[in-house]
């Protein structure tokens, strides 16, 4: 793994660490390394859940503007395409992903967090899509993922103004699922990811897909998709073990096979 994005596995959790000091700003190389790391997390059977973390002081402060300021669209495209592919893959993987956000998650950094299933943020974290202040808009899925998450009006507010919101406001508007003290962000995300990794992986993958369908295709088609996914779980290890444990009044033992 490249030096800008590091990947390690502990207790079934794949930790993707963004590491490009001082701001974890994305350039083409970092975006490409993130894409590779997400691919590896998806391919490895010993990874049941994923945590994306930028370190104790910053998650990621967007793109490297120094490199982009005088670039044309053809020069910028490879970078935004690579970051977009990484975000799309992160969203599509049949594994639960958690963004553990300390410090700033801005621009492309927030887009990476939005591609995760859950966002656990520090109480003093700052999240936003400030691209409008640079004369552009989000380009790696920010507008598209904000709308189903927080609604059209709030998405417009964040994107039109470029303002930043702290952890408690992010939670209030639905941008974050958990707010914790800054020193506890990674430990909290890792512990919950480990629980997901040890849980019913097939059922969690089905739940992730069903909820995604609800976001992009609500109504009868989404309901049909949910029912199909529900039925597909019968006969799986998850279903057999979960229901046997219930009847036997014991904790289920899903394990990696689940």
Q: Mind listing the pLDDT tens digit for each residue in 217-231?
A: 888 888 999 999 989
The model's pLDDT over 123-176, given as tens digits with 9 standing for 90+, comes to 999 999 999 998 999 989 999 999 999 999 999 999 999 999 999 999 999 999
Vertex 197 angle, CA 246 and 17, to 5° = 160
Q: What is the pLDDT of residue 2?
A: 59
Quick one: 237 and 188 in the same domain? no
Residues 106 and 226 in one domain: no
Domain ranges, residue 222: 201-247
Give pLDDT, residue 116: 98
Residues 146 and 230 in one domain: no
DSSP state of 94: S
Number of domains making up the chain? 2
255 in any annotated domain: no
> What tokens were used for 213?
């369908």
Measure Cα distances from 103 to 125, 131, 207 in Å.
Answer: 4, 18, 30
Both 118 and 28 in one domain: the answer is: yes
Tell whether 93 and 206 lie within a shared domain: no
For residues 13 and 83, membership in a common domain is answered with yes
How far apart, in whole angstroms, are the C-alpha atoms of residue 6 and residue 237? 32
Question: How much is the pLDDT for 256?
Answer: 46
CB 145 within 8 A of CB 114: yes
For all residues of the chain together, what is the average pLDDT?
Answer: 92
Residues 153 and 236 in one domain: no
- 222 plus 166 within the same structural domain: no
User: What is the mean predicted confidence (pLDDT) over 114-122?
Assistant: 98
- In this prediction, residues 73-102 reach a mean pLDDT of 93
pLDDT value of residue 66 = 78
Token readout for 78 is: 């490879």
Shared-domain flag, residues 17 and 126: yes
Enzyme catalytic residues: 63, 108, 111, 131
Where on the phi/psi map is residue 10: left (φ > 0), alpha (ψ -120 to 50), or beta? beta
Phi-psi region of 71 (alpha: psi -120 to 50; beta: other; left: phi over 0): beta
**Which residues partner with 74 through β-bridges?**
none
41 and 161 together in one domain: yes
**Model confidence pLDDT, tens digit, residues 6-35:** 999 999 999 999 999 999 999 999 999 999
Percent residues over pLDDT 70 in the chain: 98
Q: What pLDDT does residue 63 have? A: 77
């Amino acid at each position: 793994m490249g030096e800008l994005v590091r990947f390690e596995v502990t207790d079934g959790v794949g930790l993707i660490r963004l590491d490009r000091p001082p701001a974890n700003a994305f350039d083409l190389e970092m975006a490409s390394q993130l894409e590779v790391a997400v691919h590896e997390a998806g391919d490895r059977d010993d990874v049941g859940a994923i945590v994306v973390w930028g370190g104790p002081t910053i998650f990621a402060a967007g793109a490297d503007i120094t490199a982009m300021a005088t670039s044309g669209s053809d020069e910028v495209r490879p970078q935004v395409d690579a970051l977009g592919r990484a975000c799309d893959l992160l969203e599509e993987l049949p594994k639960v992903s958690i963004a553990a956000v300390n410090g700033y998650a801005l621009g492309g950094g927030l887009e990476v967090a939005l591609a995760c299933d859950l966002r656990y943020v520090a109480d003093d974290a700052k999240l936003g899509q400030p691209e409008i202040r640079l004369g552009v808009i989000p380009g790696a899925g920010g507008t598209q993922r904000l709308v189903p998450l927080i609604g059209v009006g709030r998405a417009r507010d964040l994107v039109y103004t470029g303002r930043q919101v702290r952890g408690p406001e992010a939670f209030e508007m639905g941008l974050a699922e958990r707010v914790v003290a800054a020193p506890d962000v990674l430990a909290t995300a890792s512990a919950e990811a480990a629980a997901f990794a040890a849980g019913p992986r097939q059922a969690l993958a089905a739940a992730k897909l069903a909820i995604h369908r609800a976001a992009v295709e609500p109504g009868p088609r989404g309901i049909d998709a949910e029912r199909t996914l529900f039925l597909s779980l019968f006969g799986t290890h998850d279903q057999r073990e979960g229901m046997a444990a219930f009847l036997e009044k014991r904790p289920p033992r899903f394990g990696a096979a689940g």
